[in-house]
């Protein structure tokens, strides 16, 4: 396998001289003052601007007095048809700026597909960085920033959501997630079941007028939300698994047992089956449903 090197600001040799460039342009996540000079210039100079929502992008361009070249729609529902067409424009020599509704494009949106197509075609892909909700929430969280893992949006279905959270139960890095207000409480309840009562930060409306960070344990935040119903989009920052607790868990008395043997151990002590399953689930740090499924 050969290494292909892109030098973003050096004239390329061969067919790339005729190609345009794909620019990934960050836009504000709320506060318009977070737009960078470079982002404004790049959008002014681009031949084409591809946007998730052209109506939102027109408002942004109007605010910064940017007269766009060709503004086109590129989102999750039309990416398969629009992607190759946008690549063709760049191959013809046009510079294309890709923007999302807010923040960095290609993070939890179809922009990543366009990037892959561009790289496969030998097109230079250049980042124009700026605001990002997950990292903004992380740096004000007060939790560890040494190692962190971005999970993005969790699945809508509870079973899929629970399975994903369980897979992350031994992750020691700080975890970053996005969530909508109407699913926030269910997500926190799933976290509490899968991870225990860890410290978290609920960051909402970042950079906007009603920016707010709620810090506490998962249970603290669930209790607080009963009096302060979720509003706005959230970034959730969760502390990673405690290394000492993980060590204890890995050395636990039940580690060599199967789930069947684990449940049977409690039943032999006179514990009713449902309670035995609950105890085994608590030992293993999994949901009772996972234990039940394993016993079917």
The per-residue pLDDT string of the chain (296 residues; one tens digit each, 9 = 90 and over) reads 688 888 887 665 555 568 999 999 999 999 999 999 999 999 999 999 999 999 999 999 999 999 877 899 998 888 888 999 999 999 999 999 999 999 999 887 888 999 999 999 999 999 999 999 999 999 999 999 999 999 999 999 988 998 899 889 889 999 999 999 999 999 999 999 889 899 999 999 999 999 999 999 999 999 999 999 999 999 999 999 988 877 777 777 788 888 888 988 888 889 899 888 888 888 877 777 778 777 87
Per-position DSSP letters for 26-84, written without gaps between them: -B-SS-GGG--HHHHHHHHH-SEEEES-HHHHHHHHHHTT---SEEEE--TTTHHHHHH
Sequence-ordered list of residues with C-beta below 8 angstroms from that of 73, at least 6 positions apart, any chain? 50, 51, 52, 53, 54, 82
Task: Tell me the chain's radius of gyration from C-alpha atoms.
Answer: 24
pLDDT (0 to 100) of residue 166: 87
Contacts of residue 163, defined as CB under 8 A and 6 or more positions apart, other chains included, come to none
Report the C-alpha gap between 9 and 184 in whole angstroms: 43
How many residues are given for the chain?
A: 296
The class of domain 134-244 in CATH terms is: alpha beta
Is pTM beyond 0.85 here? no
Answer yes or no: are the C-beta atoms of 204 and 180 closer than 8 Å. no
Domain 14-131, architecture per CATH:
3-Layer(aba) Sandwich (3.40)
Neighbouring C-alpha atoms within 13 Å toward the C-beta of 265 = 15
From the list 167, 138, 137, the residue with the least C-alpha distance to 155 is 167
Contacts of 110 (CB under 8 A, 6+ apart): 74, 75, 76, 79
Contact between 112 and 106 under an 8 Å Cβ cutoff? The reply is: yes
- Give the H/E segment covering residue 214: strand 212-217
81 exposure class (CB count in 10 Å sphere: 0-12, 13-18, 19+): exposed
The candidate with the shortest Cα–Cα distance to 234, out of 268, 251, 263, 210, is 210
| Domain residue extents for the chain | 14-131, 134-244, 252-295
SS3 content of the chain, % helix, strand, coil (to 5): 45, 20, 40
* Residue 149 · residue 43 · CB < 8 Å: no
Chain centroid to Cα 12, Å, comes to 34
């Amino acid at each position: 396998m050969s290494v292909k090197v892109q030098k973003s600001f050096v004239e390329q040799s061969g067919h790339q001289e005729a190609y345009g460039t794909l620019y990934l342009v960050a836009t504000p996540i709320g506060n318009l003052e977070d737009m960078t000079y470079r982002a404004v210039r790049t959008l002014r100079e681009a031949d084409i601007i591809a946007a998730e929502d052209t109506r939102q992008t027109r408002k942004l361009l109007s605010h910064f007095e940017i007269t766009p070249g060709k503004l086109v729609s590129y989102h999750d529902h039309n990416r398969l048809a629009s992607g190759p067409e946008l690549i063709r424009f760049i191959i013809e020599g046009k510079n294309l700026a890709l923007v999302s509704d807010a923040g960095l494009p290609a993070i939890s949106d179809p922009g990543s597909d366009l990037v892959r197509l561009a790289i496969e075609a030998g097109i230079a892909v250049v980042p124009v960085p700026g605001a990002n909700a997950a990292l903004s929430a992380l740096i004000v969280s007060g939790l560890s920033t040494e190692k962190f893992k971005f999970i993005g949006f969790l699945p809508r279905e509870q079973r899929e959501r629970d399975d994903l959270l369980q897979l992350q139960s031994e992750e020691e890095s700080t975890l970053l997630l996005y969530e909508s207000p109407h699913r926030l409480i269910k997500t926190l309840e799933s976290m509490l079941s899968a991870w225990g009562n860890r410290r978290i930060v609920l960051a909402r409306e970042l950079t906007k007028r009603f920016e707010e960070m709620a810090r506490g344990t998962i249970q603290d935040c669930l209790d607080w939300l009963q009096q302060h119903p979720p509003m706005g989009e959230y970034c959730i920052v969760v502390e990673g698994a405690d290394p000492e607790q993980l060590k204890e868990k890995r050395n636990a008395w039940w580690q060599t047992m199967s789930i069947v043997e684990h449940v049977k151990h409690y039943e032999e002590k006179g514990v009713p089956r449902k309670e035995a399953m609950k105890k085994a689930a608590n030992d293993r740090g999994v949901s009772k449903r996972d234990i039940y499924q394993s016993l079917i």
